[in-house]
Amino acid sequence: MLTTDFNFELPEELIAQHPCGIRGQDKLMFLGRKSGVVKHYAMDDLPSLITPDTLMVFNNSRVRRARVYGIKETTGRETEFMFLNTIDKECRIWNTMVKSAKKQKPGMRYKFPDGTIGTIVEISGNVGTEFRAMKFDAALDEDWFEKNGHIPLPPYIKREDTEEDSERYQNVYADKIGSAACPTAGLHFTQDMLSRLDKAGIERCFVTLHVGLGTFLPVRESNIENHKMHEEWYTIPAETAEKINKAKREGRPILAVGTTSVRTLESAAQEFEKKEGASEADGKLIFAGTSSTRIFMYPGFKFKIVDQMFTNFHTPESTLIMLVSAFAGRENILNAYKQAVENRYRFFSYGDCMLIK
């Protein structure tokens, strides 16, 4: 399939630049996964659209203040670095995404706001020319990012981050820090909504996938099969694995909140199939544990765990719109997006949402 098969027309004014006035007061589109039928709701209607036997799976990763500006020692010019993940156990070497990366060479030194010095070093294995490894004399901890960093708003939000983003670009249930971008489907959920889901008897559990900005890198290959995904780490707690395996045994639907939850669950299913001696006859489809994934889902992918999906509206020609197209069909997704534009839905991270079932 071609990357251009996943393009659509989107007026720039529909790209949400700010969160809605009150968290959870967003539009909600319902999309029939098989039928393609589209219905329009509000986020407040969600509990009535989910059956009580459903198991909801959320990603509890929390966003790090990962965008940090350094001053190049030789020129005094400011350079923006997005810290994605640590490469060594001591947290002294970090994988970063850098603006004007071709100009940032190994050996170049940068001073960060608190005076810390980082040096670009050469490593192998990175996917994409935007990445550079940065080495520091001492470990960087979360206090360092809190003091020196900014909320890493995506590039289609054309403004600097504010104090409002410190709260609104985090999910209310997020408690495992490490993402360089928010799993934004969760932004629509409030504590009140979670309580309403509890009262409706809808069970939930959590996984952790720390989002790297490589998720949002453009697909530069004309043929999507040639695109290479970056690596992301995920964890499935024992309690979550038990709940998922039990729900699948009982024939109950699994509703994944966000594409990161989908990636985690389907990656875990693939890992299970690779395990020597693993058998679905044991009543299991996934194991608990920590692993990494480069999973890339596009039409033709067979889903083993996820039955329903709650998600945002994604960027044209991205791996994320390919993922939802794999789940609900490309024609259904593009038709739904066309209706979203016609009905003035807000798009991307701070935009409106969709339930696919």
Is 167's pLDDT higher than 90? Answer: yes
Residue 282 has pLDDT above 80, yes or no: no
- Region at 317 (left for phi over 0; alpha for psi -120 to 50; beta for the rest): left
The domain total for the chain is 2
Give yes or no: residues 267 and 129 share one domain.
Answer: no
Query: What pTM did the predictor assign?
Result: 0.94
Q: Is residue 157 one of the residues assigned to a domain?
A: no
CA distances from 146 to 60, 143, 197 (A): 19, 5, 33
313-327 per-position pLDDT tens digit:
999 999 999 999 999
In degrees and rounded to multiples of 5, residue 198 shows phi and psi of -60, -45
Residues 73 and 32 in one domain: no
Quote the pLDDT of residue 91.
87
Query: How far is 193 from 45, CA to CA, in rounded Å?
Result: 10
User: Do 188 and 246 lie in a common domain?
Assistant: yes
The answer to whether residue 51 sits within a structural domain is yes
Output the pLDDT for position 103. 85
- C-alpha closest to that of 41 among 325, 312, 353, 339: 353
Specify whether 136 is located in the same domain as 37: no
Collect all residues with Cβ–Cβ distance below 8 Å to 132 and sequence separation of at least 6.
81, 96, 97, 98, 101, 104, 120
Residue 268 belongs to domain with CATH number = 3.40.1780.10
Query: How many Å separate Cα 258 from the centre of its chain?
Result: 7
Within a domain: 155:
no
Q: Please give the Cα distance from 319 to 235 (Å, whole number).
A: 22
In tens, the pLDDT along 128-154 reads 578 899 999 999 999 999 999 999 999
Q: Which range of residues forms the domain containing residue 106?
A: 67-149
Closest CA to 266 of 288, 240, 289, 285: 285
Q: Quote the CA–CA distance of 155 and 157 in Å, as a whole number.
A: 5
